[in-house]
Chains A and B, each alone.
Chain A
Amino acid sequence: MSSAIDLMISAMHARTLFDKLWDSHVVSELGNNRALIHIDRHVLHDLTSPQAFDGLRRAGRGVRNPELTFAVQDHLVSTERGRTDETVPGGAALIRALRDNARQSGIPLFDLGDPRQGIVHVVAPEQAIALPGMTLVCGDSHTCTVGALGVYAWGIGTSEVEHVLATQTLVQQKPLGMRVCFDGRLQAGVTAKDMVLYLIGRIGIGGATGHALEYAGAAVRALDMEARMTLCNMAIECGARTALIEPDDTTFAYLHGRAYAPVGVAWEQALAVWRTLPGDAGAFYERDIVLDASEIAPQITWGTTPHDVVRVDGRVPDPAQLSSNSERAVIQRALDYMGLTPGAPIEGLPVHRVFIGSCTNGRLPDLREAARVAHGRHVASGVRAMVVPGSMKVKRDAEAEGLDRIFIEAGFDWREPGCSMCAGLNADKVGPRERCVATSNRNFEGRQGVLARTHLASPAMAAAAAVTGKITDVRRMLS
């Protein structure tokens, strides 16, 4: 009897990873599940920070904790070799504004030419700026990427950037808990990108709104850190407030020895705390979803939101098969924008552009996967394909193992790190009605250029499209 009560009491106090992260960062309780939350790391970039610094100056406030703040140039930068501040009209002014603001406030900046420069969500884990158990924010929605390390990380707007600069805190409503468990093993040719596209296809673009999404299960545990980052990166595409994975030996091995990771006694001390972060047995999630990883085939989007996704051996939808008028209209609009025939197979569609890179899939293992497909083959005629490493470090590491040679010999363009064609801000754009297979995260209308047609897929699938000139099931090319 007493043991049953003990079990009930322990279940009531059992906390998830997210609960622990939340509890350990509450500065003040504000009622109604709201709290003032301490921010351990704040990362700035060129696009969304100038207005925040202007706001600070207008109010006569300073940066409270520059030692917890880092800045990197990524959104607007050119990816051309020999690049300077010059990019799109007006872009250089924002790049210089970040440089001046960082210098005046004593914030470390990974500037153009710095060997640590890269896409903010690639750089933060790679330099161990983000560590398990931390809170981290950035004025970019894909900040949830960093949750792969067991970090409460989320994207914020410019007013909140200003708020964090001034106070090192944010007022937050506690999100609900949601666990997505991928059981089983992935098939050959299937990656974390396919897992997350499959999930978004199941639950929809708003399917996790208001929730802290935690990934679990054997198929997640088996992923390397970079693949876990891909999984967390796209959680915002189903509306999640943040995404998380419990830190484990894979996490600790990844971090050990990186630039800002603790060393010696501090490492041991940190590790002891990090090992207590995983959720307690019996911890409660408001939503629990279980998926079978072994059933997932390579995925590719056909439409104009990330939940418009099919298996590569599947067909695009046919509005005539739908009963609801409003659904028919939505699907028809997406098919028209994408230039697709209702009910047609997705495989075999000719492509004009291929983009391999971004905070979703611009890391070393992503480039290896793509290079494995590109090796000994050549980009099809009429296709322009580019590889944009996620950071200077990724670029150096890739070059050290000869991946650049593989890509260049295969006819890919090998470029300098930045957000590039994912943001569609600099010169890297897809032309009107051109079809692009991209390893990035958004296929929204106009995202990669006016009237651009984007299909999201894994790096291996993107490389397969580049060398065949059409959407292709990469599994056939790996055997």
Chain B
Amino acid sequence: MEPFITITGVAAPLLRADINTDAIIPMRWLVTATRDGLGKGLFSEWRYRPDGSEDPEFVLNQPLYRAAGILIAGANFGCGSSREHAPWALLDFGIRCIIAPGFASIFYENCLKNGILPVVLPLIDVENLASRQRGALTVDLVTQSISDADGRIAAFELEPSRRAALLEGRDEIDDTLSHAEAIAVFQARDREQRPWVWGGNNRKNEFR
């Protein structure tokens, strides 16, 4: 995973509440065995008209925001389906940070696993950021702050172990494998205590 330390980029406002992952990347784009190239499907129902041409009204089609690196979104962003194609599509488009009053749980996890920083701020701060319409924002995970050329605008929090993992771009599976001994102990004890979980004592249907 690419580390997230600090990024400076244009922040595109998309303040609608409850934007779901079907809207972020519609189902038909999911028929693929790779994680790459999904950016073209990002918000496709809103970005493109039925004839396939771009809808100039949609924020990411406007000249100012075509190269946005930050998305400013409404409450409960990323609700619905668990598809990780949603953060993959955002990342492929170039978005590394989403600022919103809140996120759906599965989407939030999926962002952190892909080096995207989800920043939770109070609605009023999110609305203020969205209405700035001035230049780039800098989101700094070291100082946990958002600033522009005129200075600091907001501070944010992230659970310390998640912050450390993002800053270092750590592989969470490697982290967990450092607990291999504890996993083995747990499983050995569980086989004794709950043999039915492990298919034991069940002659009719032993697994495989």
Residues of chain A at the chain B interface (Cβ within 8 Å): 27-28, 30-32, 34, 36, 38, 40, 47-48, 50-51, 54, 59, 61, 65, 67-68, 76, 88-91, 93-94, 97, 106, 108, 131, 133-134, 139-141, 155-160, 162-163, 166-169, 171, 173, 175, 205-206, 209-210, 236, 239, 241, 259-267, 269-270, 273, 305, 330, 423-425, 432, 442, 444-447, 450
**Are A442 and B22 in touch, CB under 8 angstroms?**
yes
A189 shortest CB reach to chain B, Å:
29
Q: Is B18 an interface residue (CB 8 A)?
A: yes
With A93-B33, A163-B173, A206-B75: A269-B22 Cβ-Cβ less than 8 Å: no
With A330-B17, A445-B22: A90-B31 Cβ-Cβ less than 8 Å: yes
- B176 touches which of A36, A40, A91, A210 (Cβ 8 Å): A36
**Are B80 and A425 in touch, CB under 8 angstroms?**
no
One of B6-14, B54-62, B200-208 contacting the partner = B200-208
With A239-B79, A262-B196: A209-B104 Cβ-Cβ less than 8 Å: yes
Contacts of A68 in B (CB 8 A): 197-198
**Are A36 and B182 in touch, CB under 8 angstroms?**
yes
With A265-B201, A444-B22: A209-B102 Cβ-Cβ less than 8 Å: yes
| Known A27-B182, A54-B33, A97-B33; further 14 A-B contacts with Cβ < 8 A | A36-B179, A59-B171, A59-B173, A94-B33, A155-B82, A167-B183, A206-B79, A260-B205, A266-B196, A330-B16, A442-B20, A445-B23, A446-B23, A450-B45
**Are B34 and A169 in touch, CB under 8 angstroms?**
no
With A171-B172, A239-B105: A266-B31 Cβ-Cβ less than 8 Å: no
- B84 touches which of A48, A108, A133 (Cβ 8 Å): A48
**Are B201 and A266 in touch, CB under 8 angstroms?**
yes
B145 shortest CB reach to chain A, Å:
21
**Are A76 and B31 in touch, CB under 8 angstroms?**
yes
**Are B45 and A446 in touch, CB under 8 angstroms?**
yes
**Are A241 and B27 in touch, CB under 8 angstroms?**
no
| A interface: dominant SS | loop
Identify 30 residue pairs between A and B in the complex whose beta-carbon atoms are under 8 Å apart, listed by A's number. Answer: A28-B182, A36-B179, A40-B197, A47-B30, A48-B82, A54-B34, A67-B198, A67-B208, A88-B31, A90-B32, A106-B208, A131-B197, A141-B106, A157-B110, A159-B84, A163-B173, A167-B183, A168-B187, A205-B76, A206-B102, A206-B104, A239-B104, A260-B202, A270-B194, A273-B194, A305-B18, A424-B28, A425-B28, A444-B80, A445-B45
Q: Is B148 an interface residue (CB 8 A)?
A: no
**Are B190 and A38 in touch, CB under 8 angstroms?**
yes
B30 shortest CB reach to chain A, Å:
6
| Chain B interface residue number, banded | 35 or more
A109 shortest CB reach to chain B, Å:
11
Contacts of B183 in A (CB 8 A): 27, 36, 38, 167-169
In Å, the complex CA distance between A134 and B190 comes to: 11
Contacts of B79 in A (CB 8 A): 205-206, 239
In Å, the complex CA distance between A140 and B27 comes to: 13
Q: Which residues between 25 and 69 of chain B lie within 8 Å of chain A, taking CB atoms?
A: 26-28, 30-35, 45, 50
